[in-house]
Amino acid sequence: MSSPTPSSGGPRSDVGRWGGNPWQPPTTPSPEPEPEPDRRSRRGGRSFWARCCGCCSCRNAEDDDWGPERRGDRGGRGSGSRSRRPDSRGSDSRRPGSRGSAVNAAGDGTIREGMLVVTGMDLLSSRSDQNRREHHTDEFEYDELILRRGQPFHMVLFLSRPYESSDHVTLELCIGNNPEVGKGTHVIIPVGKGGSGGWKAQVTKSSGQNLNLRVHTSPNAIIGKFQFTVRTRCKAGEFQLPFDPRNEIYILFNPWCPEDIVYVDHEDWRQEYVLNESGRIYYGTEAQIGERTWNYGQFDHGVLDACLYILDRRGMPYGGRRDPVSVSRVISAMVNSLDDNGVLIGNWSGDYSRGTNPSAWVGSVEILLSYLRTGNSVPFGQCWVFAGVTTTVLRCLGLATRTVTNFNSAHDTDTSLTMDIYFDENMKPLEHLNHDSVWNFHVWNDCWMKRPDLPSGFDGWQVVDATPQETSSGIFCCGPCSVQSIKNGLVYMKYDTPFIFAEVNSDKVYWQRQDDGSFKIVYVEEKAIGSLIITKAIGSNMREDITHTYKHPEGSEAERKAVETAAAHGSKPNVYATRDSTEDVAMQVEAQDAVMGQDLTVCVVLTNRGSSPRTVKLHLYLSVTFYTGVTGSVFKESKKEVVLAPGASERVTMPVAYKEYRAQLVDQGAMLLNVSGHVKENGQVLAKQHTFRLRTPDLSLTLLGAAVVGQECEVQIVFKNPLPVTLTNVVFRLEGSGLQRPKILNVGDIGGNETVTLRQTFVPVRPGPRQLIASLDSPQLSQVHGVIQVDVAPAGGGGAFSDIRGSGRSRETIPMASRGGA
């Protein structure tokens, strides 16, 4: 991966995001910019596909289904330019069944006596029918047939006369504007004769004028929305059923099919990583892990169309849509807005006045439906939002996907595969050289698939990261990258292994400038990066530590070999040869439970492990920091000299009052403690960076009454302001798949230490255990969430589902009278 050059207004102008760009209080909004309209032309005319995915970069000159996005196509889905979009379904004389009336072989529409006319069909597509249940698609809030490839489905044809053995019936599926058999975009399935590539259809029952069929789809089928039609031929002539939009069929990847390369051989994995509509996303620091519930909502009405629109919007070749490697790589590029006007605009500046604070989102549904509805990138996202949306999209398309958090995640900008921190002769950081940064946490995705494009041994979990950090082949995308290649330091494996390896398993190297201007390694932290990698556990809301899947045990021979092997392929292959230090004084920073709005204390413990006394000159510097590692100026410091007897330990503390840090706070309420020291007797250099966060309160949600499909239910939300200052322009968000479409509640101001109580009604539309999620956001306080499980009973009449259609979200202003007292 490569890094663009910092420039004013360019991708690296976002102060809260990039290392080497110190934070200053913003005076004007500075969100991540949209790319210039002519950005692609400056790359020498190479297409997105030639740069992003080599296997998709070849096409015929006449195949215009997937060219670069036209400027006129950026409007909403209702714009007049819609017919030019790749997902357009306009009239095409070459498309079978596109005419408005039945046809015979002569094409004059005459129905002759004895012809086998198809008067209609039943795809058994309702959510309660056999097909949807067997294909595990019954939760989709759609009436159309939704299938998983490589698995048979049932259907019924209604005929003008009884079916005879001499009759010929052919099923046809088409996708794209120029369907061709050779590309797999036009599928022809002769009934009873066995098709090609795994497509086939057999008669299971012929009763009167009804013909029951069992249709097998290919485990290598293109995923997407197909038009479906039927042809018949007999002695009296040929008939073609006109295309009916009600007979469109969605085909998805199938982790239940052993022949599909996305197959997962664990039912509990499939339930969690494909079918679970909510999950936990972790943030904070390794010592202070925060967690929030995220509504993935992959089965909500409109979300599947939004996921396919993402592929259409970039113009992904339909032939490439059968390959999960290509699809996941495209999604990693399209979920962020850089290069391709994708789903989310990143913003790490701290100013979100022109959009939504990333901490305020509670799920993916509102974001994806907005993108589908308007065609415009949605402001704003940060890593956990990009990852949450990516999980939604990949699960919706049928890929087993989980959201992963890596604590102390490195951002290597010079491909050295080490995190390099530079200091002057007095161990003061040289910020103009410190372009590498260590994020307190970073969130990405694992998705499960085979890798036929790699040597054996690299199937299984693959990293996909949609957060725009560095470019890959000139595009802001990352992955898929085999977790096995990361674990073993095989940084030459595609895609983007060097960058991801450095995120989880590089060393933090401290360099001190010498008198002659050269730099010398004075300290190496071997366990500082990728210290903990976690995801939500299967079947529960507990955390699962998956660090062992990414790296060998810290300090083991295998782990050291992986790091040094990877570093040998980096830009500083001999970095470890210059290491020279004597260490007998150990330093540890103790994590304290710090609460937003209260005083706190930081503590450093020094231990003399040697046999002689040691004198340590210690410097403590405290500053605020974005979770990306970008820091503000130091607002408090302390200098002490400590004498340690052999084997002795001593605690050094620094109290910090609320009034000292109140005006300094930025996103996530995080602070960075820089500790440096010098041992007088032997010249040992001590260096440590410790990040901690200020804990924010939770929202308390209480269900008032039973929840039943189709019946109004009420929830109560209680919040107490932990700060002695007024929260202004407070906004609540409420969302839950099967419960509540995204809803925005404008509350106004909440006074210092005041408690507010809100009551909201919702109407469940699907039964079973559901998650109702809420968040609060204001300029003074963010990262406030709450969740409650709602067990929804089926409707009394036996109907499992209730209809849910309408706008993507609602907005409401809460009157002051609904507020609780302080």
Which are the catalytic amino acids?
383, 442, 465
* Dihedrals phi, psi of 5, to nearest 5 degrees: -75, 130
Tell me the CA distances in angstroms from 429 to 538, 688, 797, one per residue in order.
43, 12, 69
Query: Which of 498, 541, 457 is CA-nearest to residue 769?
Result: 541
- The greatest distance separating any two alpha carbons of the chain, rounded to the nearest whole angstrom, comes to 109
The residue with tokens 């919040």 is 719
For residue 272, the SS3 value is helix
CA distance 397 to 243: 25
Return the half-sphere exposure (C-beta side, CA atoms, 13 A cut-off) of residue 434.
Answer: 22
Radius of gyration of the chain (CA): 30
Structure tokens at 156: 């019924």
Structure tokens at 766: 């699907």
What residues contact residue 739 under an 8 Å CB cut-off, 6+ apart? 707, 762, 764, 765, 770, 771, 772, 790, 792
DSSP annotation string for 99-163? SSS-B-TTSS----TT---EEEEE---STTSHHHHHTT-TTSS-SSEEEETTSEEEEEEEESS--
Q: Please indicate if the annotation marks 139 as binding a ligand.
A: no
* Dihedrals phi, psi of 638, to nearest 5 degrees: -150, 140
What residues contact residue 648 under an 8 Å CB cut-off, 6+ apart? 607, 608
CB 339 within 8 A of CB 333: yes
CB 220 within 8 A of CB 161: no
CA distance 796 to 793: 9
Q: Please indicate if the annotation marks 336 as binding a ligand.
A: no
CB 769 within 8 A of CB 781: no
Looking at residue 417, the DSSP 8-state letter turns out to be S
Query: Which of 674, 664, 719 is CA-nearest to residue 694?
Result: 664
Q: Please indicate if the annotation marks 590 as binding a ligand.
A: no
* b/e per residue 609-626 (b: at least 16 CB within 10 A): ebeeebebebbbbbbbbb
CA distance 271 to 253: 15
Query: Which of 510, 506, 587, 589 is CA-nearest to residue 554?
Result: 506
Q: Please indicate if the annotation marks 507 as binding a ligand.
A: yes
In the beta sheet, which residues pair with residue 785? 775
Instruction: Give the residue ranges of the annotated binding site for Ca(2+).
Output: 505, 507, 554, 559
Instruction: Give the residue ranges of the annotated binding site.
Output: 505, 507, 554, 559
